[in-house]
């Protein structure tokens, strides 16, 4: 087991190396809009140097005049030492900006994951046990509707209904207008109320796939021989489903949920951007659009690490929770 984990981690590092190399090359090959914009701004000041001179100077100071491979090696060295550089867009160290925004993203992700589990698992099981019934049709159809809902459209509808028409929530941001005047409790509640719509959006658009996954797995388990055996023994239907079938359904669920845990830190790029929630997704969006290379590199590598970690966790969990699975 330990050998397997060590092997997988080494392998993940190998993949990470290539992923970051590809991303770095890609970003460097693109026109670095940030530096160009800066150069235009600086050169338009009276008595300033010309645009090309500024461009050269800025490129040199940001290390963009080096060949891509050299730049990548030095970036990798810094990255390995935990030195992520300074964000150009936010003019603070990348790690500082990251620390200030990751909390919101994590809270949002965690709450919506819990809600998803609470909604998806029971409904998925109901749909599977009553296959082809009316409730199965309704659950399956609504799961597909959830999957098919474009995030931005759903979020806009929510905003129109709950923010504009009913006026329950603000449309944008994490704090209200009078945030500074509130006491600690009030500030907390204010933040909570601003997170309601984003969390609802996140939950609704991603609950569908989990529901379908639960249903499919439950159906598979219900067709298994041991369930027939359990029924043949004369167990009550409730016992068959909730003791024998449900526990076995949990196996793939645990692996998938375990695998999605690192994803809680990756933020919700679209949802955060739509609601202007200053989480890692929104901040990265701003950085990416502005051409902020250090922050973008950090964010993309971070996401890659999270993906690898998720895969690793789900593979390990699979072996841990299912004794039938042997890891070679």
Partner 1 sequence: MSEEQKQNNQTEEQYSLNDDRRVKVLSPGALVVKRFFRNRLAVLGLIMLIVMFAFSFIGGIVTPYGQAEQFYTTTYLDKEYVGVARNDDLRYAVADGQEFGTILQAQFLLAYGKGEDSFDWKGDSYKVTEEGPDLYSISLEDGTMLAIAYKDIVNAEDGMEEPSFEVKYGALKAYVNGEDAFEADGEDYSVDEDGNISQGDTVVGYISRFVVAPKENGVTITRDFKERLEEALATDTKEFVYTDEDGQESTYTISYDASAEVWSVQQETATYVYDTYARPSLKHPLGTDNNGMDMLVRLMYGGRVSLVIGFIVVAIETVIGVILGGISGYFGKWVDNLIMRIVDIFYCIPSMPIIIILGAAMDNLRVDPQIRMLYLMLILGFLGWPGIARLVRGQILSLREQEFMTATEACGIRVSRRIFRHLIPNVIPQLIVTCTMGLGSTIITEATLSFLGLGVKFPFASWGNIISDVNNSYVMTTFWYVWIPAGICLLITVLGFNFVGDGLRDAFDPKMKR
Among 107, 115, 149, 261, binds partner 1 (CB under 8 A): 149
161 contributes a contact to partner 1 by CB under 8 A: no
Among 6, 13, 15, 192, binds partner 1 (CB under 8 A): 15
CB of 308 to partner 1, least distance (A): 6
> For partner 1, which residue of 69, 92, 157, 325 counts as binding (CB under 8 A)?
157
Number of C-alpha atoms within 13 angstroms, CB side, residue 116?
A: 29
Q: Which range, of 23-31, 55-63, 109-117, 235-243, touches partner 1 by CB under 8 A?
A: 23-31
- 273, 282 Cβ separation under 8 angstroms: yes
Q: How far is the CB of 92 from partner 1 (least distance, A)?
A: 21
30 binds partner 1 (CB under 8 A): yes
Q: Does 40 bind partner 1 (CB under 8 A)?
A: no
DSSP secondary structure code for residue 279 in this structure? S
Residues in CB range of 293: below 8 A, 6 or more apart: 27, 28, 32, 34, 62, 64, 88
User: Which two structure tokens, joined as six digits, stand for 288?
Assistant: 């990416």
CB contact at 8 A, 173 and 277? yes
**For partner 1, what does the binding mask look like between residues 205 and 244, x meaning CB under 8 A?**
------------------x---------------------
Exactly one of 299, 315, 316, 317 binds partner 1 (CB under 8 A); that residue is: 299
3-class state of residue 94 by DSSP: helix
Give whole-number Cα distances, 261 to 246, 251, 258, 271, in Å: 22, 16, 5, 18
* Candidate list 13, 69, 92, 141; residue touching partner 1; CB under 8 A: 141
| Cβ(291)–Cβ(27) below 8 Å | no
Q: 2-29 and 293-321 helices cross at what angle (nearest 10)?
A: 160
List the end-to-end C-alpha distance of the chain, in Å, as a whole number: 8
Q: 């609470």: which residue's tokens?
A: 118
Residue 13 in the binding site for partner 1 (CB under 8 A)? no
Sole binder of partner 1 in the list 4, 137, 188, 242 (CB under 8 A): 137
| Footprint of partner 1 (CB under 8 A) | 15-16, 18-19, 22-23, 26-27, 30-31, 33, 36, 132, 137, 140-141, 144-145, 147-153, 156-157, 159-160, 164, 171, 223, 269-270, 273, 284-285, 288-289, 291, 296, 299-300, 303-304, 307-308
């Amino acid at each position: 087991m330990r050998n397997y984990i060590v092997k997988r981690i080494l392998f993940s590092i190998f993949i990470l190396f290539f992923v970051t190399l590809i991303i770095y090359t890609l970003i460097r090959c693109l026109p670095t809009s940030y530096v160009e914009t800066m150069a235009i701004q600086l050169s338009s000041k009276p008595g300033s140097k010309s645009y090309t001179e500024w461009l050269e100077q800025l490129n040199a100071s940001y290390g963009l005049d080096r060949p891509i491979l050299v730049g990548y090696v030095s970036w990798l060295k810094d990255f390995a030492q935990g030195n992520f550089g300074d964000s150009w867009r936010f003019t603070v160290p990348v790690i500082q900006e990251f620390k200030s925004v990751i909390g919101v993203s994590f809270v949002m992700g965690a709450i919506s994951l819990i809600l998803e589990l609470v909604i998806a698992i029971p409904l998925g099981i109901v749909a599977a046990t009553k296959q082809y019934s009316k409730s199965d049709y309704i659950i399956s159809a609504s799961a597909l509707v959830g999957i098919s809902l474009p995030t931005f459209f759903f979020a806009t509808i929510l905003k129109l209904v709950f923010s504009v028409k009913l006026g329950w929530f603000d449309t944008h941001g994490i704090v209200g207008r009078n945030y500074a005047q509130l006491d600690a409790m009030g500030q907390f509640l204010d933040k909570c109320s601003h997170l309601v719509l984003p969390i609802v959006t996140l939950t609704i658009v991603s609950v569908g796939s989990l529901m379908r996954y639960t249903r499919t797995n439950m159906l598979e388990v219900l067709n298994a021989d041991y369930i027939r055996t359990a029924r043949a023994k004369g167990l009550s239907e409730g016992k068959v489903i909730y003791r024998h079938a449900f526990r076995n359904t949990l196996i793939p669920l645990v692996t998938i949920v375990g695998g999605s845990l690192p994803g809680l830190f990756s933020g919700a790029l679209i949802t955060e951007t739509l609601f202007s929630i200053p989480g890692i997704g929104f901040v990265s969006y701003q950085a990416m659009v502005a051409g902020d290379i250090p922050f973008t590199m950090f964010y993309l590598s971070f996401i890659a690490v999270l993906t690898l970690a998720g895969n690793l966790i789900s593979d390990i969990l699979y072996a841990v929770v299912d004794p039938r699975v042997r890891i070679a």
